Structure 1
Amino acid sequence: MITKSFKEYNSIEGSVVTVGTFDGIHIGHQDILCKLQEISNKKKLKSIVLSFFPHPKIVLQNSKNIKLINTIDEKVEILKKYNIDYFIIKEFTKEFSRLTALEFIRDILVNTLNAKHLIVGYDHRFGRNRDANIIQLREFGEIYDFEVTEILPRKINDISISSTKIRDLLKEGNIDYVNKYLNEYFVLTGKVVKGMGRGKLLGFPTANVKIKGEYKLIPNNGVYIVASSIDSETYYGMMNIGKNPTFTDKNQSIEIHFFDLDYDIYDKNITIKLIKRIRDEKKFNSPELLREQLELDRDFTSKYLEENEIEIK
């Protein structure tokens, strides 16, 4: 259940709760969610993920330049895999940020959610100015009769996995490591819209996509191998993110050339999984040279999908 209201939780006899923004739901977050479900089942308590929107940095830094790995809808789809009982999206405001650690624990976790067990990451901080940590949390647990489980950091090659690290990798276009840290393919969701029609003239018709989510982080410009879901069917192809420098466009666009698809898909919702980055976006001296490069990209993509036996549902 997804909700933005706390009212219906007063009747819950007890819950296991985790708190955080969970941007990306990377492998470290996944450890938390698995432990949440494990303890929930063991103690026969409801499992609750308490998250916030907008992201606290957007509110407190008053900046729209902060971009996020997931939209709310994308996050919901991931959480479905963990059979979470309740996903609460609390509006994050400056007023809410002024709650002290005591007020947050007492009024939200204990009196509202009736938390009996709290699962947190190793670096979890809470309360006004994030001034309370795991030590204070355990002290509150003794006062308000709830247990605390701390989840240690996940590392790959001695690198601690974090949402900040993944955002940096996306800005670089390093989709290989992004997918490794997420333990699944990075996703873009949007709607197919009309484009300029240049791809069709080149022999590579494309679907232009308008991405959903005001704060969604778009990976670095370049050409990517993708698998896209439209009307519950999966189609493979190659996607370009960029400004089409060969044609001197000024605005960023996202275009996908599918290998086997009827292109009458305007206004369709689309979910795009990024499998691999092929190359940087390039400016060519003529449309013909661009077409030749697209043929090479198509051959590489087809070979890569076949050799790696990639099958996405």
Structure 2
Amino acid sequence: MAEDKYNLKNPAVKRILQEVKEMQSNPSDDFMSLPLEENIFEWQFAIRGPCDTEFEGGIYHGRIQLPAEYPFKPPSFMLLTPNGRFETQTKICLSISNHHPEHWQPSWSVRTALVALIAFMPTNPNGALGSLDYKKDERRALAIKSREVAPRFGTPERQNLIDEIHEYMLSKAPPVPQPDVLQSSEEQPTNTEDEAPKETAAAAEELANAGPSETQVTAERIVEEVPEALVPIDNPPVQAVIRAATLEVPPARRPSDQIRHRAAVQRPAAGADDRLFTWAAVGLTIAIVVLLLKKFLKSNGHSPVFMDGS
């Protein structure tokens, strides 16, 4: 590579040349990427389909365009090999691409981006720009076809680099899994689901046979593992249920019971008032009788005698 064609003091050029040396000194079996001779800001790459997926065994080529502000701005990615997950010759939308510059970090590199791209292959596209959602059988067929020949793209110099990368990846890539192997691997999670009730029953039996202390510890652990979102403490109905379950609430009285209770409480006070009124009436009656008696005696002339005798 003619390094004298570029300004070695340029941060982008300096960073790209460092990544080229690192890519050549530390190759990977999962991917390979090199820049073009005439333009180090444009790279060709090939990635291997991730294991245990419908892409396993496939070799997928693409191109990377690095901006002049690299590594402070993210690169753009384009797939050239039909794969059923990303459109070909279209800049794809990923969190590591120029479609989301807010997610890019200058510490990332071409190697980091390729590792992330491999991880994105089996994910759900969710309608992202440049994404496809082919069936697994179609993707497996494309994975087998991707090994036959490298895609045709660009100038002869670029095509030579693509063919060189394809030969390297083909020597490192494992064979495409046979359909019977894939079916057995897909049926294995079903067997695991069938065994789940047995494991649950065994755990329940173990919990039932455990001592009081072990049961209490297990219950506390289960409570700690429950997400807070499932138990909204601020929810009034939940608080009511908790209070009803933890507090001893006395049984409610019927209306007739409340009336009898009030009458029983007020009855002693009512009897004392009646006696007080009775004695007051008796005293008032005696006073009236005495006054009437004095008036009668005075009117009959017995007043002096009464007065002298008093």
What TM-score bracket applies, with the shorter chain setting the length?
A: under 0.3
Structure 1 or 2, whichever has the larger Rg, is 2
More strand by share: 1
How does the TM-score come out when normalised to structure 2?
0.21
Higher helix share: 2
TM-score (norm 1): 0.21
